[in-house]
Amino acid sequence: MMIERSVYKSVGRNEDATGIARRVAQISVSAIKQMPVLASRVEGCLSLGQGIPSFATPPFILEAVIEALRTDEAIGKYSLQPGMPRLKEAIADRLRNAKGIQADPESELFVSCGAMEAIAATLSTVVERGDEVLLPSPNYSSHIEQILFAEGVPVFVPLIEEEGWKLDIDGFKNKLTSRTKAIVLCNPMNPTGAVFSKEELLALAEIAVSRGLFIIADEAYDFLIYDDLPYFSLASIPELRDRLIACFSFSKMYCMTGWRIGYMVASARVIDQVLKVHDAFAICAPTISQYAAHAALKATNGLDGEGDRFIKTLIKELSARREFACARLDMLSHLFHYEKPRGAYYVFPRIVPEGVGDMDLALRLLYEARVITIPGSGFGPTGEGHVRISFGAAREDLNRAFDRIEDWAGIYK
């Protein structure tokens, strides 16, 4: 069945970009955020769309904030622009103890409005108009818009799907030009669920060092790796400090997506520059969220703190949801072929029936099966012909959503 082209238009309002700067007129709100807007007009949808885990922010964080709201009037005021000193110290401790990353809290990190703002500010800081930024394809869609907003040129390097969405190191080398300025890399990866190996990351770092490029690392899912796979962060290599800009988040680890809080680690020289952009756009990260982040870290000692127990339970539950989602996808093999994710909470299956586009499929799943998925082409050219499925939803909702897809997908049998 063909979907009316006019359906596409309803994804976003028709834009009038008269008088709007090109750098903004050319970008768009990502499909990840547009699909839920569309779905809000469809009664009773279930979401396998946006990456929001079903869990609430844990009580040990909420209680600390409630107490501070009652007793500490500083919570309602701007913090120091780079972040509250005690939070920055707690972040530096955690980086050192949990990941072997050394960062001077005074000069080599700052607290941002989520990893998102840190990455956007970084790209705006280092990319000049026309500079090329290499990134894997598929890739988290917001990075593409952030590069365009900085007036850079995204240059896509396809991942190797059949090898579990592996990095194609030669592919990166082949795309280097005199205009290449940076590499953006999300690990563990959204939307594929890939976790890159130490060897892959070091090979990429070698390219960056030899060509004087920045690596902008998005590590929003650094804690969320399955099957006890080793996790390696390039930020743990001191020799890369001049080249590496690593962005982290409290959103996923402590189920704090709405608090908008994260941080960035880089050389003091780069931090100084990025802070100018952070000041121009945000002044400081929300102070109330900095209190929350501080409470989160205080409860996390790498052993048996409330924070540690919360994170362990979260990983265990998401791991079970991953198994469940994969088992349900196995039953849909006439519709989807997938690589099992090794991190984050996404799976990025290829659409099996010939000639079925990802936008068509996502819209039909939305309107006919009432299940939200994200069309893959929003994640770069290699995303075409795929959809992103998040398994962050509660198990009951996951179950019902897959039931609906299975009932609907009978037409392809």
Ligand X SMILES: Cc1ncc(COP(=O)(O)O)c(C=O)c1O
Would you say 254 or 369 has its CB closer to ligand X? 254
- Select the span of 37-45, 113-121, 168-176, 369-377 touching ligand X (CB under 6 A): 113-121
Examine residue 299 and tell whether it contacts ligand X (CB under 6 A): no
Would you say 247 or 335 has its CB closer to ligand X? 247
Examine residue 137 and tell whether it contacts ligand X (CB under 6 A): no
Give the one residue of 115, 157, 266, 372 binding ligand X; rule: CB under 6 A: 115
Distances (CA, A) of 389 to 147, 181, 246: 25, 32, 26
Examine residue 186 and tell whether it contacts ligand X (CB under 6 A): yes
- Select the span of 114-122, 125-133, 173-181, 287-295 touching ligand X (CB under 6 A): 114-122
Residue the block writes with tokens 């409470």: 295
Closest distance to ligand X from the beta carbon of 140 (Å):
4
Q: In the beta sheet, which residues pair with residue 134?
A: 155, 183
Nearest-angstrom CA–CA distance, 246 and 100: 14
Give the one residue of 60, 110, 140, 223 binding ligand X; rule: CB under 6 A: 140
Examine residue 116 and tell whether it contacts ligand X (CB under 6 A): yes
- Select the span of 111-119, 161-169, 367-375, 385-393 touching ligand X (CB under 6 A): 111-119
Give the one residue of 47, 79, 141, 251 binding ligand X; rule: CB under 6 A: 251
Coil, strand, or helix at residue 346?
strand
Burial class (CB in 10 A: 0-12, 13-18, 19+), 227: exposed
Closest distance to ligand X from the beta carbon of 325 (Å):
17
Nearest-angstrom CA–CA distance, 383 and 154: 15
Nearest-angstrom CA–CA distance, 34 and 37: 5
Nearest-angstrom CA–CA distance, 194 and 390: 14
Q: How many residues bind ligand X (CB under 6 A)?
A: 13
Nearest-angstrom CA–CA distance, 81 and 292: 17
Give the one residue of 257, 287, 300, 373 binding ligand X; rule: CB under 6 A: 257
Nearest-angstrom CA–CA distance, 339 and 331: 14
Nearest-angstrom CA–CA distance, 364 and 358: 10
Would you say 143 or 243 has its CB closer to ligand X? 143
Examine residue 114 and tell whether it contacts ligand X (CB under 6 A): yes
Nearest-angstrom CA–CA distance, 5 and 66: 50
Would you say 45 or 224 has its CB closer to ligand X? 224
User: Of the candidates 293, 272, 265, 217, which has an alpha carbon nearest to the alpha carbon of residue 101?
Assistant: 265
What's the CA dihedral at 93, 98, 102, 107 to 10 degrees? -50
- Select the span of 109-117, 127-135, 228-236, 311-319 touching ligand X (CB under 6 A): 109-117
Nearest-angstrom CA–CA distance, 387 and 378: 9
- Sketch the per residue contact string, 190 through 219, with ligand X: x for CB under 6 A, - otherwise: x---------------------------x-
Give the one residue of 220, 246, 274, 285 binding ligand X; rule: CB under 6 A: 220
Nearest-angstrom CA–CA distance, 188 and 192: 9
Distances (CA, A) of 267 to 203, 207, 238, 242, 378: 21, 19, 10, 6, 32
Residue the block writes with tokens 């779905």: 39
User: Of the candidates 276, 260, 290, 257, which has an alpha carbon nearest to the alpha carbon of residue 78?
Assistant: 290
- Sketch the per residue contact string, 270 through 289, with ligand X: x for CB under 6 A, - otherwise: --------------------
DSSP 8-state code for residue 230: -
Closest distance to ligand X from the beta carbon of 251 (Å):
3
- Select the span of 83-91, 112-120, 129-137, 358-366 touching ligand X (CB under 6 A): 112-120
Would you say 140 or 338 has its CB closer to ligand X? 140
- Sketch the per residue contact string, 32 through 71, with ligand X: x for CB under 6 A, - otherwise: -------------------x--------------------
DSSP 8-state code for residue 353: S
Two tokens, residue 385: 């012909």
Examine residue 349 and tell whether it contacts ligand X (CB under 6 A): no
Examine residue 341 and tell whether it contacts ligand X (CB under 6 A): no
Chain position whose Cβ is nearest to ligand X: 114
Closest distance to ligand X from the beta carbon of 366 (Å):
20
Closest distance to ligand X from the beta carbon of 39 (Å):
17
Nearest-angstrom CA–CA distance, 56 and 153: 38
Interface with ligand X (CB under 6 A): 51, 114-116, 140, 186, 190, 218, 220, 249, 251, 257, 262
